[in-house]
Amino acid sequence: MSVNLTIGKAINAGLRRAMEADPKVLVMGEDVGKLGGVFRVTDQLYKDFGADRVIDTPLAESGIVGTAIGLALRGYRPVCEIQFDGFFFPATNQTFTQLAKMRRRSAGALNLPVVLRIPYGGGIGAVEHHSESPEAYFAHTAGLRVVTVANAVDAYWMIQQAIASPDPVVFFEPKRRYYDKADVDTEAALDSAHPMGAARVARPGTDVTLLAYGPMVKTALQAAEADSDHSIEVIDLRSISPVDYDTVTESVRRTGRLVITHEAPVSGGVGAEIAARVTESCFYHLEAPVIRVGAFDTPYPQSRLEEHYLPDLDRVLDGVDRAFAY
């Protein structure tokens, strides 16, 4: 049965389905209970699954991730909501030194099926620390899987795949796209969904590959629509760690050009890593250097300036034009 859902509602439906399927799945975080989360992503779960499975935690991010590790060691599958991207940082120690490393430390004796849900990215006019794109820190940390979604269909399936994964998964939710809608077949089997680690060609094209993920996929699709001079192929990366290089390089070998866009600052970013890899593996196919369109290497600015900071349609199109200037 197909249901028209926003990204937020799709994640909610995915959480509900995972909780119904497995009594070991828990939701935990600040305000996830009666309030249903500040973005209402956990709406009604507390009512239906109770306080033992939808845990309102003390206001302490390290405590959330640290106790989730302990719950996972006891056989549970905790899904932690970190309220906003900029509030994740108190939990970096537990995430980077413990969650990411414990399987390796135990030589495989321990699995930590913990999901960290992080609403991220800008564009909602928020105050400081509510608009950041910290995905590169996570992608740089071995032991974590890092994914993000761009539409409600992926939101519904990927949250379930993340919960089912025996590895810790950082699940980035594009908060400015929470209300974008799509038809979701909520009754299909989980294993029929597109694999969590795989990229997807969101729009085929022949002249240039435009790679985006999370909130920038919509902008990239708008750019492809707007540019009547070039046939732009848009790839929705979906998984930031691991990167599905097969899909990316196959596209680049056909188009000969690659433009990467993300909301995060460009230096040391995910785009930099992909550019280096693609240059190494597609050098003789490239007609132009790999172009990056991202944010500046500054703190996220006050919201009245974010339209200049975030890569928008024009800046993405400018990046495409630069790729054709060679």
Q: How far apart are CA 282 and CA 229, in angstroms?
A: 24
Residue of 52, 187, 191, 280 that binds another protein (CB under 8 A): 52
Which positions from 166 to 205 touch another protein by CB under 8 A, shown as an x/- string? xx-----------------------------x--------
Q: How far apart are CA 122 and CA 272, in angstroms?
A: 20
Question: Which of residues 66 and 256 has its CB atom nearest to another protein in the complex?
Answer: 66
Q: Which CB contacts under 8 angstroms, 24+ apart, belong to 19-23?
A: 19/45, 19/49, 19/53, 22/77, 22/163, 23/53
Chain residues 117-156 in contact with another protein, contact rule CB under 8 A: 142-143, 145
Residue 258 near residue 286, CB atoms below 8 Å: yes
Number of CB atoms found within 10 A of residue 40's CB: 13
- Contact status: 93 vs another protein (CB under 8 A): yes
Number of Cα atoms under 13 Å in the Cβ half of residue 138: 30
**DSSP class of 313:** H
- Contact status: 108 vs another protein (CB under 8 A): yes
Question: Which of residues 72 and 116 has its CB atom nearest to another protein in the complex?
Answer: 72
DSSP string, 35-97: T--TT-TTTTHHHHH-TTTEEEPPS-HHHHHHHHHHHHHTT-EEEEEPSSGGG-GGGHHIIII
Residues 6 or more apart from 246 whose CB is under 8 A from it?
none
Which among 130, 140, 230, 262 is annotated as catalytic? 130
- Contact status: 34 vs another protein (CB under 8 A): no
308 part of the active site: no
- Contact status: 160 vs another protein (CB under 8 A): no
- Contact status: 250 vs another protein (CB under 8 A): no
Q: Which amino acid is at 195?
A: P
- Contact status: 279 vs another protein (CB under 8 A): no
Least Cβ distance, residue 247 to another protein (angstroms): 11
- Contact status: 242 vs another protein (CB under 8 A): yes
Instruction: Give the number of residues in contact with another protein, rule: CB under 8 A.
Output: 50
Residue 141: name the closest of 175, 181, 80, 98 by CA.
98
**Stretch in the footprint of another protein (CB under 8 A) among 11-19, 59-67, 210-218, 284-292:** 59-67
Q: Return residues touching another protein (CB under 8 A).
A: 26, 52, 55, 57-58, 60, 62-63, 65-76, 78, 90, 93-94, 97-98, 101-111, 142-143, 145, 165-167, 197, 241-246
Please give the positions annotated as active site: 130
